[in-house]
């Protein structure tokens, strides 16, 4: 009977959800967002609150029913929400009166002046609404007939009306945009307030949890404090009942023992002074029986020593002092020697470290220089020196070796490669030493023309860089050396032809001597002393080799 009126009165509340707190509200909104239900109405209410008992004097004083009186629910929370919550309702359900028609409603609302009355609801609201709709349609038809019967407006009036309507539409659109902006701003502000409220709730929850944790810790501390006070009280009682009495007895006993010790010390001082006992090593931690046994042993030793040394005590004391002075001098000498020995050991360690460092650096330098000379021909190599085993090994890797293996035996190389490797090793050693003159005997044997040119260029560059005298003994043509020396020294002299007779080229401190196929003796004018002896030895060896070769065969050397 009253369904339409009740629907108009509390219809919005019937679509709402009731929860206990804000946490449940957030969870419910999250579920609604997942279901794409954004317009969700949530009411937060205490479920533990019993049904509200409304006094009679607070209800409308009328015989007509109220919305609250005709509604029924087995859940008291729903009924309490209808009474308390006025967010969705103009007034509580208990203050809204239901009437049958408009006339009765006017009488109830205005004529009778009923207290606690907020609204009135009619039963035939829908019928009146339909009658109003019919009247509105009749009015529209009448206006349409009048407009058709009226004379037609002129074109100018229509244009004016059109422009006026257009201006009104623009004003309304402008107003609508402003209202939409305000609505958006209000929505954003509402979202911000909602987020801040949620953050505040979360922070409050965390603070509440922290407060609860602190309260638990405080309770634990109070419990520990009570236990500590109980233990303190127990030990104080034990101390007063047992410890203090035992402590008094111990103090009295200690005083007696101190008195007895002083008396014994006085009696012992009469027999023997304490200083003499201390000189003999003292007698601490010894009882009287042990002291008596020790005294007997000392007497026996005194008798034996008296028989062994017939001298007097003074003579023995003087002899002991003399021996002590001698021992002291020996100790001082030993200490001085020990300091010198430590200084020598430190110097030896320092020199040994420097020697090891120099040895390592020399080994690296030899390898780098050897490899540098080999690179002139596209060869790579390495020299391994072992000072512990006193060995030196040479590894050479040829550019045409596709197996990427190194040659460790000279028998694996050809004659020219062996000669060039030997020359590179000799030049690496020459770079690490200093000498007024240097000599090489048949360094270019078994070499082809390219290897010989590379070798001679390397030797000439080395001689010009280091500036020492050089002696070359070779049966080959070294015209390249003459050209190189002429380019660097304009005063270079040439004696005879290279392929027939020996010649010497010199300028300042650089000497190049070359032997050809002739057997005539030759002594360079710049060689003196040891250099001349080496030169003579090489010439003699050359003569002997030539004579033996001429005797054994008809060929020439």
Provide mean pLDDT across the span 230-257.
84
pLDDT of residue 483: 60
Q: Would the pLDDT of 340 be above 90?
A: yes
- Model confidence pTM above 0.75: no
Residue 45: pLDDT above 90? no
| Listed residue (81, 65, 62, 64) closest to 73, CA to CA | 81
What pLDDT shows up at residue 197?
85
Q: Which residues pair with 43 in a beta bridge?
A: 18
Lowest mean pLDDT among 341-355, 505-519, 531-545: 505-519
Lowest mean pLDDT among 316-325, 346-355, 363-372, 415-424: 415-424
pLDDT at 32: 86
CA gap 414, 409 in Å, rounded: 11
Residue with the larger pLDDT of the pair 162 and 546: 162
pLDDT tens readout for residues 380-411: 888 888 888 888 888 888 776 544 555 555 56
Confidence check: pLDDT of 415 > 50: yes
Long-range (24+ apart) CB contacts under 8 A made by 245-254 are none
Say which residues have a Cβ less than 8 Å from residue 474's Cβ, sequence separation at least 6. Answer: 440, 441, 442, 443, 444, 445, 514, 515
User: Crossing angle, helix 449-466 and helix 415-431, to 10 degrees?
Assistant: 10
Q: Which pLDDT belongs to residue 266?
A: 80
Q: Average pLDDT for residues 482-502, to the nearest whole number?
A: 44
Can you tell me the mean pLDDT for 339-343?
94
Which own/partner pairs from 545-553 qualify as long-range (CB within 8 Å, at least 24 positions apart)?
546/519
Q: How many CB atoms lie within 10 A of CB 502?
A: 21
| Closest to 514 measured CA to CA, from 542, 475, 460, 458 | 475
Q: Which of 491, 348, 464, 366 is nearest to 424 (CA)?
A: 366
**Mean pLDDT highest for which of 121-135, 260-274, 338-352, 475-489?**
338-352
Work out the average pLDDT over 434-461. 78
Calculate mean pLDDT across residues 240-251. 81
More confident residue, 12 or 185: 185
Q: How far is CA 262 from the centre of its chain?
A: 71
Quote the tokens at residue 388: 């512990």
Q: Please determine, for residue 530, whether its predicted confidence score (pLDDT) is greater than 60.
A: no
Per-residue pLDDT averaged across 63-85, rounded?
77
pLDDT band at 22 (very low <50, low <70, confident <90, very high): confident
Tell me the pLDDT of the chain averaged across its residues: 74
Closest-CA residue to 121 (of 67, 60, 81): 67
pLDDT at 339: 94
CA distance 463 to 480: 14
Look at residue 347 in the predicted model and tell me its pLDDT: 95
Element (H, E) at 473: strand 469-473
Q: Read off the pLDDT of residues 112-167 as tens digits, 9 standing for 90 and up.
A: 666 555 544 444 445 555 566 666 776 776 666 655 544 444 677 777 777 888 88
Contact 460, 481 (CB under 8 A): yes
Average pLDDT on 168-175 reads 84
Give mean pLDDT, residues 254-275: 80
């Amino acid at each position: 009977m009253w369904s339409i009126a009740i629907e108009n009165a509390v219809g919005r509340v019937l679509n709402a959800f009731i929860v206990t707190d804000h946490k449940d509200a957030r969870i419910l909104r999250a579920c609604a967002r997942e279901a794409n239900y954004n317009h969700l109405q949530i009411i937060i209410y205490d479920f533990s609150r019993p049904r509200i008992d409304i006094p009679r004097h607070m209800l409308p004083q009328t015989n007509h029913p109220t919305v609250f009186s005709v509604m029924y629910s087995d859940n008291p929370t729903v009924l309490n929400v209808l009474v308390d919550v006025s967010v969705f309702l103009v007034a509580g359900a208990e203050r809204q009166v239901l009437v049958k028609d408009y006339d009765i409603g006017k009488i109830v609302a205005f004529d009778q002046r009923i207290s606690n009355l907020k609204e009135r609801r009619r039963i035939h609201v829908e019928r009146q609404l339909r009658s109003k709709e019919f009247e509105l349609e009749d009015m529209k038809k009448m206006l349409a007939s009048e407009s058709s019967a009226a004379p037609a407006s002129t074109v100018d009036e229509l244009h004016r009306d059109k422009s006026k309507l257009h201006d009104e539409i623009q004003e309304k659109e402008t107003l609508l945009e402003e209202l939409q902006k305000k609505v958006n701003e209000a929505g954003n502000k509402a979202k911000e307030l909602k987020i801040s409220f949620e953050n505040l709730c979360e922070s409050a929850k965390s603070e509440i949890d922290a407060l609860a944790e602190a309260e638990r810790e405080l309770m634990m501390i109070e419990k520990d404090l009570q236990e500590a006070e109980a233990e303190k009280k127990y030990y104080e009682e034990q101390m007063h009942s047992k410890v203090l009495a035992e402590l008094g007895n111990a103090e009295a006993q200690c005083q007696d023992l101190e008195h007895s010790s002083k008396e014994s010390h006085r009696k012992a001082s009469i027999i023997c002074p304490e200083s003499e006992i201390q000189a003999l090593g003292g007698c601490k931690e010894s009882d009287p029986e042990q002291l008596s046994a020790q005294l007997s042993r000392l007497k026996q030793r005194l008798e034996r020593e008296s028989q062994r040394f017939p001298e007097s005590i003074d003579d023995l004391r003087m002899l002991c002092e003399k021996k002590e002075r001698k021992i002291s001098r020996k100790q001082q000498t030993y200490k001085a020697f020990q300091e010198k020995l430590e200084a020598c050991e430190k110097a030896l360690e320092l020199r040994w470290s420097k020697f090891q460092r120099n040895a390592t650096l020399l080994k690296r330098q030899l390898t780098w220089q050897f490899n540098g000379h080999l690179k002139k021909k596209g060869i790579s190599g390495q020299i391994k020196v072992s000072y512990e085993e006193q060995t030196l090994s040479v590894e050479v890797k040829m550019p045409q070796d596709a197996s990427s293996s190194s040659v460790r035996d000279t028998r694996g190389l050809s004659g020219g490669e062996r000669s060039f490797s030997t020359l590179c090793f000799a030049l690496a050693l020459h770079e690490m030493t200093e000498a007024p003159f240097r000599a090489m005997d048949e360094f270019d044997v078994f070499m082809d023309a390219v290897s010989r040119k590379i070798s001679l260029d390397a030797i000439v560059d080395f001689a010009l860089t280091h500036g020492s005298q050089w002696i070359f003994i070779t049966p080959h043509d070294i015209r390249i050396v003459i050209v190189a020396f002429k380019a660097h020294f304009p005063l270079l002299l040439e004696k005879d032809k290279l392929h027939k007779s020996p010649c010497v080229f010199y300028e300042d401190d650089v000497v190049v001597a070359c032997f050809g196929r002739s057997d005539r003796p030759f002594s360079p004018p710049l060689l003196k002393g040891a250099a001349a002896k080496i030169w003579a030895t090489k010439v003699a060896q050359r003569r002997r080799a030539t004579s033996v070769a001429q005797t054994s065969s008809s060929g020439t050397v």
